[in-house]
Amino acid sequence: MEIRLTAIALAVLFQVSFPAKTPETFRQRYGKPLSETFLVRPGVAVTTTYGPSGETCFLTIEPINSVGSSVTPKSPIIDEKLLREIDEQLVPKNERGEYIIGTFLNIVCLPDNNCAGVQEDWGQLVIYRNAGPKGTRYEQIRWKRAECGATLRIHLHPL
């Protein structure tokens, strides 16, 4: 009887103690991630968000020191040439579909007026670049598949 109780206590203790130190431990406990963040260049990260099928729905490209933080007028920027190189690596033009239209977005989001930017509409996806006074603060790419939703997720508050 004592051996059974000890075995049960150890099993419960093992289940309760879950060190979240590696991606593998998270995957073992919770399954596939909904999103992941990768370092694509020194100082620049891309966060990929997956749809229910496991396909990528959103990519958010931003300076590493602003990942998950609020966008403000003083947020760091990404060099435009570097951003174009990253875009071409992540989503080459031949995978975007036909170019449809580019749009300037003059959106006011209080209190920091941090939503203005430009948007490119392609056959397969939409690219939104959030503009700051000195350049792009972050970029988001959204695929046009039904599972990905119909709108971009403007990055205003921590995720």
* Helix residue spans in the chain (DSSP H): 2-16, 23-30, 80-90, 93-96
pLDDT in tens, 65-121: 766 555 555 668 888 899 999 999 999 999 999 999 998 877 666 556 566 788 999
Instruction: Identify the pLDDT of residue 130.
Output: 87
- pTM listed for this prediction: 0.74
pLDDT in tens, 3-53: 655 555 545 445 555 566 787 888 888 888 889 999 999 989 999 999 999
Give Cβ neighbours of residue 12 (< 8 Å, ≥ 6 apart): none
Which tokens is 7 given?
Answer: 């075995």
The domain ranges of the chain are 22-148
